[in-house]
Structures are given as structure tokens and as C-alpha cells.
Structure 1
Amino acid sequence: YECETCEREFVSQHAANQHMDALSHWAPRFECETCDREFDTQRSANQHTDDSKHWTPQFECETCDRRFHSQNAATQHMNDKGHWAPQIKCEICDRRFHNQNSANQHMDALNHWKSKYCGACDRGFTNENNLEMHLSSSIHRGTQVQCHFCKGPFTSASGLSHLESASCSRANNLNREKIYRAIRNRDSGGIITMEIIEYPEFETQNIATGATWNGFSYECYLCHREFDTVRQLNQHLGSPAHSQKLYHCSNGKCGSEFVSLAALFNHLESESCNLVRFEKVQQ
């Protein structure tokens, strides 16, 4: 009885087995992929597997654990059972869908469109404009602009509109008219200021009366907006809503006009006319 690896011989199979166990001298075994049979050569194992059709199925279903001997069989199974894996990806999360419509519904519901999503905050927005406003907010830009007078922090230059509304605690003598005149004196060429014949000297506050009641609400006779109280209407009339345009965008191709310096800053910060970058406006 010979060892399967070296040339030693033994008087019994038992002795040969003990020797091969002790020295790991068993010859390589080639197993059938399905049954328990073993063969001395890979060729013999392949012949057995071919004859007995004992090859292990290699083609997997994309959903369940079943395997098949051919891709065609796997395809038939997935068609019959609806076991095709979803292929349409959500633009943000790992979810997949069987069709684009389902993916769109998911992304609409969770605001998972890449063009409307802030990855840093893991937050979606209903439209691109809201995303831009979020990215330009103090969350991402901080409060790096200070009021020269009260040192109040603002996210952007347009936040200094509190000077135009005379609400700065250290400069309540300033207002929209005085700021315009100061800038106009330095901008005689009208790069950003509009040329006006005369700046209105009168205040438009507290000019509405009960006569503006239209039977349902107090109505602005200029724009026909409606308000619940005379006070609200007077606040509206005292705001720049119906004021003369004082500034314009310096981009000749834009032509936008504005009633306040803050509105001009806000327009430039939005980069909508591509005149200047947001960071430049803050400088």
C-alpha cells in the first residue's frame, strides 16, 4: 500500500493512511460541485460533472437567492416574478427605483434633487433659488459684515438696510434720503445712482384714513393691496414700495432699477446679471 505522495510502501492501508495523515501526504482531491464524489484529477471531475449535469448554477436572480444554469433561465425567472433589481438611482440617497417616474416622485417628496440640495447640511430645498439663499445665509457665510455705527453683525452688505430705515441705534438720524444724497454727491456720473429732479421732502406716513375701507379691508389706492388695519396700510405707504427709483445696476445690459441701496446690493449679491461676484459686493 503506497503513500499517495512519496514513495513509501506499507503492509496495510491503515498504516498508509496513518502515514499520510501524519505528514499531510494525501494526494489532491477534485470534488464534484454538487454531490460528494471525489476524483484524482480535475479532468475526471469535469467528466463526471458533465455526464451527471452536476455543475453548480452560476447565474443569480437579482432579488432572491435562486441561481440558474444559464442567463436565459435567470432572465425568464426575473421576468416572470418581477425580480429585476431597481436601476434608477435617487440623486442624493441610496434608494433605487424601477422607473424614472417613481424616482422623480421620491426626489420631489424629499427634495432630493442634486440641483436643490445642500450636501453640507444634508438638506433639500423646493427650488434652486431657495438653495442659493440658504448658501448665502449666515449658516454658510457667517456674519462678517458689520454696521459702521452700531457694530451689528450682518450676513451680507444688503443687511445694512437698517441704516436706510433709520433703525440703527447709533445712527437713527440717517435714512434712505440722506444716504442717497451722500452717495449721489460722490457719484455725479450716475454709475449707480439715478438722476432725480427733486427728492420728496414730505413723509408719507399716517396719510391713510378710514376712507380707504372698501367694505372688506383697507386698500392701497396705488397698488390695490389690501390690509387688515389702517396702521398696516400706513406702514406700507411709508415703506419704499411706491417710492421713486434711486439706484440702477451699473451693468448697462441689465437696466434694473431700485428704490433702495439695499435692494441694489441684494441684486448684485444674487449674481443674476453676472456683473460682480458675491464676495466683491461685501468689500
Structure 2
Amino acid sequence: MPVSSILDVIGNVPMVILRRMSSGKVFAKAEFLNPGGSIKDRVAKFILDKAVEEGRLRPGMVVIEATSGNTGIGLCLAGVQSGFAVVCVMPDNVSEERKRIIEALGGETILIPAKENLSGCVKKMQEMAKLEPDKYFVVNQFQNPDNTRAHYLQTGPEIWQDTGGEIDIFVAGIGSGGTLQGVGQYLKDQKPEIKIAAVEPRNATSLLGREPGLHQIQGIGDGFVPEVLDVGLIDMVFSVSDKDAIDTTRRLAREEGLLVGTSSGANIFAALQMDNGKNRIVTVLPDRAERYFSTALL
């Protein structure tokens, strides 16, 4: 199937039924099959396309974002197609693979001490943009409504179609908040009785008012509640330990043949807690395992 750009194959990924690990009622959207390896490809393309269309992103500008890696990779993938340079401000404890993928795609990485969390990366990004406002297009996924809009217009409708609307619970981790907010709102608009379950690392459960700490579930638990997230949408919160997320990630590989990252393990761990053989539970597998092989997580 010829395509004019690798960006044309973003989205419309398969929905996998977990038949070995669950009762057969847990369904996972295989977002790791996007070309950049994560669900963030959707958001990156959508945000840049809208910014160009509206004249906010112009030739010669540099795209800058605070990211734990996946959004940065997606932005580099989309940016290289349009000739935009990309700068990614990242915590210094992200996996080596994430940094190297960004650099392989022509992106620049600026590392911030991990103890400052993503909020420190956001602060650095804003400082750089303030010094040269005409140079940088600031993505800021944590505040950008196009983050949630991408999922409301694309991911949510795909999940609804994949399942024929037969969903009881939707589960998603909270990183930027875009997936849970966009997909959750779309599903609630179609069927208000659907329950929305949020997943956070036990050491960084902002929704429960705990002080943020270091954890090993890369991609979620950034130490604050993102502005794009309406917490009133959430019906339940699961705080998942590093061990449970890692163990479940390993089970996904060895029992289901799904090579995914630890945020996927966290999502599935939460989903399995609700698997009673009756409820149809849908979640996402946000990214690939390959970007964690240099760590002890897999």
C-alpha cells in the first residue's frame, strides 16, 4: 500500500484482546505500532498541522517541547517532514534509547535533573521561549487543547468503532492528560455510563494529592495535574507500584507477545483489577519495549 508520507500511517492501529492474561474482556489499542513507536505520534502531527494551518508555526521557527521522550519523538517525526527543527527538554533519567531516537531524527535534547520532574522541563522551555519568542513555537502538551482534541477526534472514535460501542470501562495513564481527557470525553459523550479509570504511579499520584517522587513508569506521573485534564471526568484512580507495572509489562511480552513499555504494564495492571469476566474494559498500549532495553525495566 503506497503512502505519500510515513505520517499517513499514524492511527487506526489494531485493538488486541488479551486472551491469556484476562477473561477475554480486556481490550488494548496497540498504539506502539504507530511509526514513531507511540501514541504521541497522533498528538504531535495534529498539533503541528493545526499550528501551521493557523499561522502560529511558520517557516524558520523551531519547535520546542518539554517531554519524557515520546512526544519529542513524534514531533521530530512530524517536524522532519515539514522542515522544522525540534528541541526537546527532558528529565535526565529518561531511557538512553529515547534520547538517541530523538537525535537520530535530527532533534536536539536538553536534559534537566530528574528530581525537578517534568515541571522543571516546562519551566526551562518557557524560559527559552521568553528569551526568543519569535524563534520558538511552544507545544506545551500539558496546556495545549489540541492535545486532547487529537484524541477526541481520532483515537476516541476509533475505539468506539473497534468495539461497536460495547465498552464499560476505559483505562488510561495520566502523563500529559491528553489520552484520558480526549478519549474519555468522547466515549462519555457517546455513552454517559462508561466509567473512566485514571492510572498513576504510586510514587507520583497527583490526583490523590501526594507529593511527587521518583518512579520507573516512564511516560506518566509527571508530578502535577495537567491543565488539559478535567478531573471531574474521572470515576476512579489506580495508583500502581513500579513492581506491578514492570511485572505486568514482562507478562505482556511472555504471555501475549506484546513488546511494550511500562506505562502499558501499568494500564493493564489496573485493567486486570477490574476484570470480572463481565465488564468490557478498554485501554491503550502507549509505546514500544525497544526504548527501554538499556534499563532494568524489561
The interval holding the TM-score normalised by the smaller chain is: under 0.3
Structure showing greater Rg: 1
More helix by share: 2
TM-score normalized by the length of structure 2: 0.20
* Higher RCO structure (Cα 8 Å, ≥6 apart): 2
TM-score normalized by the length of structure 1: 0.21
More strand by share: 2
